[in-house]
Amino acid sequence: MATMVDYKAEKATWCPGCGDFGVLNALQKACVNLGLEPEQVVVVSGIGCSGKISQHFGGYGLHALHGRSLPAAQAVKLANRHLTVIAAGGDGDGFGIGMGHFIHAMRRNIDITYVVMDNHIYGLTTGQASPTSDVGAKTKTSPAGTVEQPIAPLQLALAQNCSFVAQGFSGNIKQLVSLIERAIQHKGFSFVNVFSPCVTFNKVNTYEFYKEHLVNLDDDPTYDPRDRVAALRRVAEANNILVGVIYEDPDRPSFEESLRGYPAEPLVRQDIALQAADYAALLETFR
Amino acid sequence: MGSEVGWKVGGKQGEGIDSTGEIYAIALHRMGYYVFTYRHFMSLIKGGHTNYKIRAADHVLRHHGDDVHVLVAFDQTTIDVNWPELVDGGIVIYDSSSFQAKKPDDRDVHLLGVPLTEIAKEAGNPIMKNMVAIGVSAAINELPPEEFRPVVQDKFGRKGQQVVEANMTALSRGYAYFQERSRVRFPLPAKPDLQGKDHLYASGNQATGFGALAGGCRLLAAYPITPATEIMYWVLQHFPKYGGVVLQAEDEIAAINMAIGANFSGVRAMTSTSGPGFSLMMEALGLAGMSETPVVIVDVQRSGPSTGLPTKTEQSDLNEAVYGTHGEIPRIVLTPRTVEECFLLTAEAFNLADHYQCPVIVLSDLYLGMSYQSIDGFPVQAVRYDRGKLLSEEELAQLAKSGYQRYDASVADGISPRALPGQKHGRYVALGNEHNGTGLEVEDQETRVNQMRKRQRKLAGFQHFTGVSVEGPDNAPYALVGFGSTWGGLEEARAALAEAGLTVKHIHFSRVWPFPEAEFHAAMDGVRLALVTELNATGQLKQLIRQQAGYHDRLHSCLKFNGDPISLREIVDSAYQTFPMGVFN
């Protein structure tokens, strides 16, 4: 059984106190708790501070293009269904340049987990407005305050009927570990949005801010994550500032289960060479 | 009559013109003739002029031919548009139930009205006017109506035997009507001897799909786009039987990133597209080059730029294929010349991608991709498998003792062995950032230069069976030069020129990158003037040859970019204008 030591990779280059440390830690811990060997896990990340997580994780990684972690991650999984595949990136990467892929990944429901490190800012490019920046947020590209409405990731996912939706906070590692574990175990596409404070460029959405305002669904034994309409209402009431498993539909067939001819054995293990009988049958279709 | 016949049917889009042409073409093919078809269509569903040309002969055809002997017209536009292609003494069959045809000029062409719709109505349904037209054509080409039965059965069998018989009746009545009223005939030549030949009917797009399957591709990610979508159709039909996956991506950016992801996992994967989609793939092309991940991209070119002429052919993506993406990466660009090469070079593209761990672009075009033709079998025996440097877990365990370096820059050939996700001791991160040997993002100058050199080194001295082909006499003072789909037209033009006494050789690229420099120099030995024929406005191949091989004073251009494929006459005329008759011979 792998331990945290087996996941130890290069020391992360994030700023001290960065929320992404917590996400990395929680992701590694979740994999350890689920008994996953590091070589069975692939982290496909986008570009930005958060994108560096694939290099710090300690498994296999594909540090993909800005906004394109999801298309690559979905195919990594289809090519080898025995792998555990995590797509990861930030709010700019996933909800800005890569937004289209997010919607379609939810439609497709391939069995991967998407972790977004949401800090409401572009950090690596030193502090510009992001798609989740609050209205009025003063940044280098919005000196007078952002005038655009922020993306609402949870409502978006619920509206698109994503089969697993959760939100966590990198200031609450224990809960985040459990959310990621459940997301990985979910059969189909799972989405975990994580409030991951940027300590350098965002002085508003801080650890203190979240500690003060977050509603924790774990504290509400009556909350039913199977009820999508109730989930939408709850998210709206909390104005997105809540954590826990928001919604899950464990019965939805995954893409892999629904796809005609998709083999039980990983594609990567198939013998690719065609035999004489194959050619005979194929050539017959050209007569 | 000669050894071939040109037949064409035309009308409004949505009138069943395509299926008329298709039935006639498949019937001729199954009767044992060689056919070559060309579809002229527009980017709309109903209305607009569309036509379907069939050239039929007793030998393999590589071009749709310049001449039309028989034109079936469902409207006056069809006559006006196609009039220049009609040979003197040719015949136009028009539907006299719906219009009275007029000759655009007084040339000697027979105009014969046949009440196609009326006859179809009598046979049971006016929609069968196309079958009546096929019956009339059969009479002109002296083909017995019963020989069409197998195709009609295939086409309509699903709808019940009654529908099959009604269509056969319509066909026979059209045949009889013409037999009784006209003596104009364009008989096909005697059927060729097909013994020992695998007489197949395929398009370049189908062949590309087949080549992908044969080459071991098990994941296609693509976004629908004319003229590449037929690759997806073929693959959708056949991949599931072999465990293969087809992903309809949300856009071409997703498509290529999916193909890269699957290849990273160790599954041969590709994307197929056309110009606009290929443009969207440029950033990811760089990722494949930088992260040394194999990927195959098929670009079925169409007229650009931008949306351009979506249903017309062109060869104007050459520069993009050779130079596209920011920064500098190793890549291979193959340009299949024929349907058979669409099959073989697509299959081979996967070997090259795996072997050199870089993107391989297969550059086809609408003309090659969408034209159905009779061929003498596919070169399935030539398919081979080379997975390149993939490490086993045992090898990785050995390497782990000194630390496995996925991007080891010290390897002599620049190709460092790959591990696949799931393998023990092989963990690494594939990335688009500059990196060191172990795959960590670094920015120091020495590592940067070493890694750039490593990647560039992979294709140094590249040798492969693709490259340059040469037809015609070695000592010819003149040469026709082209790449990809124009091979058939250029070859036929060369033969016509030779018959007229002009000694010309034909030099053709089936690979443009890495540029086959030595082979091209050898081919140009003794050539004083070369006519570089290509379907674009700026002479992209000529520019590439000048840059890579020189010959500035000897290269002339024959360019076409109006959307139509080049005609034999255009090549021959251009050759006469370029090559001084008798001066050098």
Q: What is the C-alpha to C-alpha distance for residues B520 and B482, in angstroms, rounded to an integer? A: 12
Name which of B200, B221, B385 is nearest A75 (Cβ-Cβ).
Answer: B221
Architecture of the domain made up of A4-284: 3-Layer(aba) Sandwich (3.40)
CB contact under 8 A, B380 and A283: yes
Please, which residues 243-272 of chain B have a Cβ atom closer than 8 Å to chain A? 243-245, 247, 249-251, 253-255, 257-269
* pLDDT at residue B3 greater than cutoff 60: yes
What residues have CB less than 8 Å from A135, skipping those under 6 apart? A145, A146, A147, A148, A149, A150
Question: What's the per-residue H, E or C state across B439-469?
Answer: CCECCCHHHHHHHHHHHHHCCCCCCCCCCEE
CB contacts, 8 Å: A40 with chain B: 422
Q: Do residues B175 and B306 both lie within one domain?
A: no
CB contact under 8 A, B267 and A268: yes
CB contact under 8 A, B200 and A60: no
Give me the pLDDT at residue B585, please.
45
Instruction: Decide if B275 is inside a domain.
Output: yes
* pLDDT at residue B272 greater than cutoff 50: yes
CB contact under 8 A, A76 and B284: no
Give me the pLDDT at residue B46, please.
77
Q: Do residues B443 and B492 both lie within one domain?
A: no
Please, which residues 20-49 of chain B have a Cβ atom closer than 8 Å to chain A? 30
How many C-beta neighbours within 10 Å does residue B565 have?
23
Give me the pLDDT at residue B50, please.
95
Q: Does B57 lie at the interface with A, CB-CB under 8 angstroms?
A: no
Residues B440/A55, Cβ–Cβ less than 8 Å: yes
Reported confidence tier of residue A8, pLDDT bands at 50, 70, 90: confident
Q: pLDDT tens digits for A89-144?
A: 999 999 999 999 999 999 999 999 999 999 999 999 999 999 999 999 999 999 99
Q: Which chain B residue has the Cα nearest residue A264?
A: B243
Q: What is the C-alpha to C-alpha distance for residues B208 and A201, in angstroms, rounded to an integer? A: 51
Give me the pLDDT at residue B583, please.
52
Minimal CA–CA distance to B404: which of B383, B389, B387? B389
Q: Do residues B154 and B257 both lie within one domain?
A: no
Q: Do residues B443 and B482 both lie within one domain?
A: no
Q: Does A10 lie at the interface with B, CB-CB under 8 angstroms?
A: yes
Name which of A61, A63, A79 is nearest B265 (Cβ-Cβ).
Answer: A79
Reported confidence tier of residue A159, pLDDT bands at 50, 70, 90: very high
Quote the tokens at residue A5: 């030591």
Instruction: Decide if B142 is inside a domain.
Output: yes
What residues have CB less than 8 Å from B559, skipping those under 6 apart? B533, B534, B535, B536, B537, B538, B539
Give me the pLDDT at residue B479, please.
98
Q: pLDDT tens digits for B117-163?
A: 999 999 999 999 999 999 999 999 999 999 999 999 999 999 999 99
Type and span of the H or E element at B305: none
Q: Do residues B408 and B424 both lie within one domain?
A: yes
* pLDDT at residue B447 greater than cutoff 60: yes
Q: Does A11 lie at the interface with B, CB-CB under 8 angstroms?
A: no
Mutate to test the interface with B, among A41, A259, A274 (most CBs of B within 10 A): A274
Instruction: Decide if B538 is inside a domain.
Output: yes
Please, which residues 144-173 of chain A have a Cβ atom closer than 8 Å to chain B? none
Q: Does B200 lie at the interface with A, CB-CB under 8 angstroms?
A: yes
Give me the pLDDT at residue B351, please.
98
Name which of B250, B262, B428 is nearest A104 (Cβ-Cβ).
Answer: B250
Q: pLDDT tens digits for B353-412?
A: 999 999 999 999 999 999 999 999 999 999 999 999 999 999 999 999 999 999 999 999
CB contacts, 8 Å: B249 with chain A: 71, 104
Residues B56/B45, Cβ–Cβ less than 8 Å: no
Share of chain A above pLDDT 70, in %: 100
CB contacts, 8 Å: A39 with chain B: 421-427
Q: How far is B388 from chain A (nearest CA, A)?
A: 14
Q: Do residues B236 and B277 both lie within one domain?
A: yes
What residues have CB less than 8 Å from A219, skipping those under 6 apart? none
CB contact under 8 A, A263 and B433: no
Give me the pLDDT at residue B338, please.
98
| Size of chain A in residues | 287
Instruction: Decide if B476 is inside a domain.
Output: yes
CB contact under 8 A, A44 and B380: no
Q: Do residues B295 and B352 both lie within one domain?
A: yes
Average pLDDT over residues B492-516: 97
- φ and ψ at residue A261, rounded to 5 degrees: 85, 0
* pLDDT at residue B584 greater than cutoff 70: no
CB contact under 8 A, B253 and A55: no
Instruction: Decide if B191 is inside a domain.
Output: no
CB contacts, 8 Å: A55 with chain B: 429, 431, 439-441
Q: pLDDT tens digits for B326-354?
A: 999 999 999 999 999 999 999 999 999 99
Q: Does A80 lie at the interface with B, CB-CB under 8 angstroms?
A: yes
CB contact under 8 A, A286 and B214: no
Average pLDDT over residues A237-248: 97
Identify the three-state secondary structure at position B481.
strand
Q: pLDDT tens digits for B24-70?
A: 999 999 999 999 999 998 877 777 899 999 999 999 999 999 999 99
Boundary (domain end) residue, out of B382, B409, B431:
B382
What residues have CB less than 8 Å from B383, skipping those under 6 apart? A274, B214, B215, B344, B347, B348
Type and span of the H or E element at B370: helix B366-370
Q: How far is B280 from chain A (nearest CA, A)?
A: 13
* pLDDT at residue A169 greater than cutoff 60: yes
CB contacts, 8 Å: B242 with chain A: 270, 274, 278
Q: Is the peptide bond before B227 cis (omega within 30 degrees of 0)?
A: yes
CATH number for the domain including B525?
A: 3.40.50.920
CATH number for the domain including B365?
A: 3.40.50.970
CB contact under 8 A, B262 and A76: yes
Give me the pLDDT at residue A217, please.
98
Give me the pLDDT at residue B582, please.
58
Residues A257/A112, Cβ–Cβ less than 8 Å: no
CB contact under 8 A, B427 and A38: yes
ipTM score assigned to the predicted complex:
0.98
Please, which residues 44-63 of chain A have a Cβ atom closer than 8 Å to chain B? 44, 52, 54-55, 58-63
Q: How far is A255 from chain B (nearest CA, A)?
A: 10
Average pLDDT over residues B423-439: 97
CB contact under 8 A, B429 and A55: yes
Boundary (domain end) residue, out of B382, B417, B447:
B382
Instruction: Decide if B193 is inside a domain.
Output: no
Q: Does B214 lie at the interface with A, CB-CB under 8 angstroms?
A: yes
CB contact under 8 A, B254 and A267: no
CB contact under 8 A, B422 and A82: yes
Q: Does B284 lie at the interface with A, CB-CB under 8 angstroms?
A: yes
Name which of B245, B260, B423 is nearest A72 (Cβ-Cβ).
Answer: B260
Give me the pLDDT at residue B386, please.
98
* pLDDT at residue A205 greater than cutoff 70: yes
Q: Do residues B527 and B557 both lie within one domain?
A: yes
* pLDDT at residue B203 greater than cutoff 90: yes
Share of chain B above pLDDT 70, in %: 99
Give me the pLDDT at residue A165, please.
98
* Pair type for strands B511-513 and B332-334: antiparallel
Mutate to test the interface with A, among B264, B376, B441 (most CBs of A within 10 A): B264
* pLDDT at residue A54 greater than cutoff 60: yes
Q: pLDDT tens digits for B80-96?
A: 999 999 999 999 999 99
Give me the pLDDT at residue B1, please.
40
Q: Do residues B367 and B250 both lie within one domain?
A: yes
Q: Do residues B135 and B219 both lie within one domain?
A: no
Mutate to test the interface with A, among B245, B348, B387 (most CBs of A within 10 A): B245
Q: How far is B502 from chain A (nearest CA, A)?
A: 38
Q: pLDDT tens digits for B115-125?
A: 999 999 999 99
B509 strand-pairing partners: B468, B483
Q: Which chain A residue has the Cα nearest residue B257?
A: A72
Instruction: Decide if B189 is inside a domain.
Output: no
Boundary (domain end) residue, out of B465, B491, B511:
B465
Give me the pLDDT at residue B581, please.
74
Mutate to test the interface with B, among A13, A36, A39 (most CBs of B within 10 A): A39
**Domain with B395 in it:** 389-465
Q: Do residues B366 and B246 both lie within one domain?
A: yes
Number of structural domains (chain B) is: 4
Instruction: Decide if B196 is inside a domain.
Output: no
Backbone dihedral region for residue B329 (phi beyond 0: left; psi -120 to 50: alpha; all else: beta): beta
Q: Do residues B238 and B345 both lie within one domain?
A: yes
Question: What's the per-residue H, E or C state across chain A?
Answer: CCCHHHHCCCCCCCCCCCHHHHHHHHHHHHHHHCCCCHHHEEEEECCCCHHHHHHHHCCEEEECCCCCHHHHHHHHHHHCCCCEEEEEEEHHHHHHHCHHHHHHHHHHCCCCEEEEEECCEECCCCCEECCCCCCCCCECCECCCCCCCCCCHHHHHHHCCCCEEEEEECCCHHHHHHHHHHHHHCCCCEEEEEECCCCCCCCCCCHHHHHHHCEEHHHCCCCCCCCHHHHHHHHHHCCCCEEEEEEECCCCCCHHHHCCCCCCCCHHHCCCCCCHHHHHHHHHCCC
